[in-house]
């Protein structure tokens, strides 16, 4: 098809394009490799099945914004086909051979797939362009108060225009070129419905003109690829490569909230957390290149939704734009995200959970907190009381360990000394042991355990805080001391099973303590209650007047540990009619207490996180908000009082205990 001169020109253009693309890619590799940690390449083979599902079927994309995801799927799946189509077209241009021209099943199948893929890409891309540039939804941007690289304010739209223009030019040219070929040969190909329909427009056109048109479209189609490739490393389109790499090579974690282990016994460690971008893990720097700037993480962020300065999307975009415009990874993190935004994070994990390319902005924020807290002592002063409580009395309420069992006065709650070989070790938790309102949850659960005849014990005065709040606030030193002591004690006790009445305790014991040598079977009390009811060990009296309940999923139960069914099943067994909030299960909205927010005032915003969540619960019309976390219990109760509302807020254990025969 191409003349000899055209072939020479095409080769020269290809070499130039690949060279400048290589320069851009080399720069990216340099930036990523400046981060901390090493790549574990063997993870690829371990995760190959997960990769096929997540990447091939766009599983993560379809979890949010369904119709937008459909448009994205049309483009993504179409491009997978076009990896072969473009190669075939290149071979055709140089040799005159093409699968398109072959008869038989192979040629027919290829033509229909290529034709449909071409049309799908065009339709999907045009839909995306209309959405962004005509409808201009606010969710594709951020507030003026958000710290966003000035170049990104206009650069994101410009990048979208360049990418969209390239794809439309590439695919429209390819479709036109094929339609010219069909018209020139007088063929109506049923296996190419879109190209054939278009070819009908060129009937009566001079065949030589159509040949020239086919040549021009070849150059526009594949020439657009050559022109775009050097820009590719700087565009958001590069997520095509980094999204699969993210899923394939991210370090193994037991939960989206599990943080990296720091051995504080190692006296050689001089740097804690991330002061500069290069202090982040290599995968955290890579996140900036994987980011597609879709702002999904911002859309689900409880801090951003309540008017705070934090935008997890802006953090990733700022990293990317800094690197794209000649910056190095020794930039201070404070230039990419303000301290106020860092401390607004509730560590709910919504940004990590919803990201379609596997980014983890929450992890960056918690690493920054480590640095601010341990290297600069630059943390909100309200946290000092909780820190002192955990250091002196092993709990953030600063209640004496001598009073740890006062909540159990008058109840049959054996300690491990009294019952050294229990079937279940109940980790009560600081809140149920010390907070007046949360104690009612502990008392209700104790009644359930005794009614079911469970052989259990508690650690009593030996139980300490797990250190969750300290770790989320960046005080790795406090967490290290508490975790080390707790693991030493638990390994002596050798519990068969641990049940917790706090999702934060569950998460820490189950996901964080293995790094300290503590590996235990840990379940949540709603799971255990469900087991007891299912086994017939608890008989519930269901009232004829059904209780309407909306269940608020604690972030560290539903999102961090994927426990969403057990509490609902338990509530149903107790005769409750469950009315779901719009944001529920793994997509639940935070109560506002996580990430050590329980111990400090919220940053300035348009409303409080707990009041926003309570309003959502109230809108269901249910008369009770059921929770499964003492922090959520406090936050929802506070919101109910602020609203002067009669809606009840109760733990699942309380509701079950009230209905026991």
Listed by start position, the domains of the chain span 4-31+40-142+149-247, 273-375, 383-530, 538-658
Task: Give 144's Cβ-side CA count (13 Å radius).
Answer: 0
Q: How far apart are CA 97 and CA 414, in angstroms?
A: 82
pLDDT above 90 (res 278): yes
pLDDT above 90 (res 204): no
CA–CA distances in Å: residue 246 to residues 65, 151, 252, 474 = 22, 26, 12, 25
pLDDT above 90 (res 105): no
pLDDT above 90 (res 356): yes
Q: 501 with 445: CB under 8 angstroms? A: yes
The pairing of strands 498-500 and 547-551 is: unpaired
Q: How far apart are CA 141 and CA 148, in angstroms?
A: 10
Find, among 171, 175, 56, 156, the residue nearest to 124 by Cα. 171
Task: Give 314's Cβ-side CA count (13 Å radius).
Answer: 27
* Neighbour-count burial for 342-366, b at 16+ CB within 10 Å, e otherwise: bbbbbbbbbbbbbbbbbbbbbbbbb
Residues 6+ apart with CB under 8 A from 612: 302, 305, 306, 589
User: Is residue 544 classed as helix, strand or coil in its secondary structure?
Assistant: coil
CA–CA distances in Å: residue 122 to residues 41, 73, 172, 271, 512 = 36, 12, 7, 50, 47
Note the pLDDT tens digit of each residue in 317-339: 999 999 999 899 999 999 999 99
Q: How far apart are CA 216 and CA 208, in angstroms?
A: 13
CATH of region 383-530, choose from 1.10.12, 3.40.50, 2.60.40, 3.30.300: 3.40.50
Q: 312 with 361: CB under 8 angstroms? A: yes
Q: Which residues on neighbouring strands pair with residue 332, listed in sequence order?
A: 276
Query: What is the reported pTM?
Result: 0.93
Place of tokens 């600063």: 398
Report the topology of domain 273-375.
Fumarate Reductase Iron-sulfur Protein; Chain B, domain 2 (1.10.1060)
Note the pLDDT tens digit of each residue in 38-74: 999 999 999 999 888 888 899 999 999 999 999 999 9
Q: Which residues on neighbouring strands pair with residue 281, listed in sequence order?
A: 36
pLDDT above 70 (res 14): yes
Q: 565 with 586: CB under 8 angstroms? A: no
Query: What is the predicted pLDDT for the residue at 544?
Result: 60
- The tokens for 89 are 């077209």
What is the dihedral angle through the alpha carbons of 488, 494, 497, 503, rounded to the nearest 10 degrees?
Answer: 0
CATH class of the domain defined by 4-31+40-142+149-247: mainly alpha
CATH class of the domain defined by 538-658: alpha beta
pLDDT above 90 (res 644): no
User: Is residue 290 classed as helix, strand or coil in its secondary structure?
Assistant: helix
Note the pLDDT tens digit of each residue in 366-397: 999 999 999 999 999 999 999 999 999 999 99
Three-state secondary structure of 241-261: HHHHHHHHHCCCCCCCCCCCC
CA–CA distances in Å: residue 628 to residues 18, 330, 491 = 56, 43, 27
Averaged over 268-295, what is the pLDDT? 95
Q: Where are the alpha helices (DSSP H) in 185-327?
A: 193-199, 207-228, 239-249, 282-290, 296-300, 302-305, 312-324
Query: What is the predicted pLDDT for the residue at 546?
Result: 74
- The tokens for 378 are 């630059």
Residues 6+ apart with CB under 8 A from 146: 304, 309, 311, 314
Confidence of residue 651 (pLDDT cuts 50, 70, 90): very high
How far apart are the two ends of the chain, measured CA to CA in Å? 85
Angle between helices 361-375 and 476-493 (to 10 degrees): 100
Sign, CA dihedral 609-319-362-60, equals: positive
285-289-290 Cα angle (round to 5): 105
Mean pLDDT score of the chain: 94
Averaged over 447-475, what is the pLDDT? 97
Place of tokens 């502990």: 442
| Edge-to-edge order in the sheet of strand 456-458 | 456-458, 424-427, 498-500, 522-524
- Is residue 493 exposed (0-12), middle (13-18) or buried (19+ Cβ within 10 Å)? middle
Note the pLDDT tens digit of each residue in 585-639: 999 999 999 999 999 999 999 999 999 999 999 999 999 999 999 999 999 999 9
- Is residue 86 exposed (0-12), middle (13-18) or buried (19+ Cβ within 10 Å)? middle
User: Is residue 410 classed as helix, strand or coil in its secondary structure?
Assistant: coil
- The tokens for 37 are 């940690």
Share of the chain above pLDDT 70, in %: 100
Note the pLDDT tens digit of each residue in 21-35: 999 999 999 999 999
Confidence of residue 194 (pLDDT cuts 50, 70, 90): very high
Same fold? 383-530, 538-658: yes
Q: 320 with 288: CB under 8 angstroms? A: yes
pLDDT above 90 (res 139): yes
Query: What is the predicted pLDDT for the residue at 74?
Result: 96
314-589-645 Cα angle (round to 5): 130
Confidence of residue 352 (pLDDT cuts 50, 70, 90): very high
Confidence of residue 101 (pLDDT cuts 50, 70, 90): confident
């Amino acid at each position: 098809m191409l003349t000899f001169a055209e072939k020479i020109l095409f080769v020269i253009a290809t070499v130039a394009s690949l060279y400048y693309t290589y320069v851009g890619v080399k720069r990216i590799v340099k930036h990523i490799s400046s981060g901390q940690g090493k790549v574990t390449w063997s993870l690829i083979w371990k995760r190959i099945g997960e990769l096929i599902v997540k990447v091939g079927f766009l599983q993560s994309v379809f979890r949010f914004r369904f119709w937008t995801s459909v448009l994205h799927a049309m483009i993504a799946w179409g491009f997978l086909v076009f990896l072969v189509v473009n190669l075939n077209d290149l071979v055709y241009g140089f040799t005159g051979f093409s699968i398109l021209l072959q008869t038989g099943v192979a040629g027919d199948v290829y033509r229909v797939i290529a034709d449909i893929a071409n049309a799908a890409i065009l339709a999907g891309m045009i839909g995306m362009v209309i959405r962004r540039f005509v409808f201009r939804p606010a969710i594709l941007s951020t507030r003026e108060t958000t710290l966003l690289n000035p170049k990104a304010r206009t650069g994101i739209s410009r990048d979208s225009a360049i990418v969209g223009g390239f794809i439309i030019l590439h695919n429209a040219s390819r479709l036109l070129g094929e339609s010219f070929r069909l018209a020139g040969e007088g063929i109506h190909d049923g296996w190419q419905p879109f190209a054939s329909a278009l070819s009908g427009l060129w009937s009566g056109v001079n065949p030589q003109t159509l040949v020239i048109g086919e040549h021009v479209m070849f150059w526009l189609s594949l020439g657009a690829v050559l022109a775009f490739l050097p820009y590719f490393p700087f565009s958001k389109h590069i997520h095509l490569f980094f999204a699969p790499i993210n899923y394939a090579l991210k370090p193994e974690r037991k939960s989206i909230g599990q943080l990296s282990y720091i051995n504080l016994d190692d006296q050689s460690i001089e740097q804690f957390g991330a002061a500069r971008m290069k202090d982040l893990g290599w995968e955290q720097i890579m996140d900036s290149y994987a980011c597609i700037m879709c702002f999904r993480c911002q859309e689900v962020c409880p801090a951003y939704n309540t008017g705070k300065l934090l935008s997890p999307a802006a953090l990733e975009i700022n990293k990317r734009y800094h690197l794209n415009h000649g910056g190095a990874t020794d930039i201070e993190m404070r230039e990419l995200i303000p301290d106020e935004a860092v401390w607004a994070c509730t560590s709910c994990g919504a940004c990590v959970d919803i990201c379609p390319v596997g980014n983890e902005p929450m992890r960056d924020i918690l690493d920054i907190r480590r640095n601010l807290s341990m290297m600069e002592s630059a943390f909100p002063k309200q946290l000092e009381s909780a820190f002192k409580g955990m250091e002196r009395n092993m709990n953030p309420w600063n209640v004496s360990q001598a009073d740890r069992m006062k909540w159990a006065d008058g109840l049959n709650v054996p300690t491990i000394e009294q019952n050294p070989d229990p079937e279940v070790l109940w980790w009560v938790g600081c809140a149920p042991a010390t907070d007046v309102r949360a104690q009612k949850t502990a008392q209700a659960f104790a009644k359930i355990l005794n009614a079911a005849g469970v052989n259990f014990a508690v650690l009593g005065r030996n139980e300490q805080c797990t250190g969750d709040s300290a770790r989320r606030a960046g005080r790795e030193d406090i967490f290290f001391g508490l975790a080390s002591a707790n693991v030493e004690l638990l390994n002596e006790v050798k519990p068969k099973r641990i049940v917790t009445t706090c999702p934060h305790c569950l998460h820490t014991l189950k996901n964080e303590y293995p790094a300290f040598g503590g590996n235990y079977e840990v379940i949540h009390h709603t799971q255990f209650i469900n087991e007891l009811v299912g086994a017939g060990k608890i008989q519930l009296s269901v009232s004829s007047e059904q209780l309407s309940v909306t269940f608020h999923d604690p972030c560290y139960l539903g999102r961090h540990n994927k426990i969403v069914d057990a509490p609902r099943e338990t509530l149903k067994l107790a005769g409750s009619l469950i009315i779901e909030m719009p944001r529920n299960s793994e997509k639940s909205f935070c109560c506002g207490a996580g990430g050590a927010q329980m111990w400090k005032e919220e940053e300035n915003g348009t409303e409080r996180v707990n009041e926003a969540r309570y309003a959502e619960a109230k809108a269901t019309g249910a008369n009770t908000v059921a929770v499964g976390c003492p922090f959520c219990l406090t936050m929802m109760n506070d919101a109910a009082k602020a609203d002067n509302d009669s809606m009840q807020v109760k733990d699942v254990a309380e509701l079950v205990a009230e209905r026991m025969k």
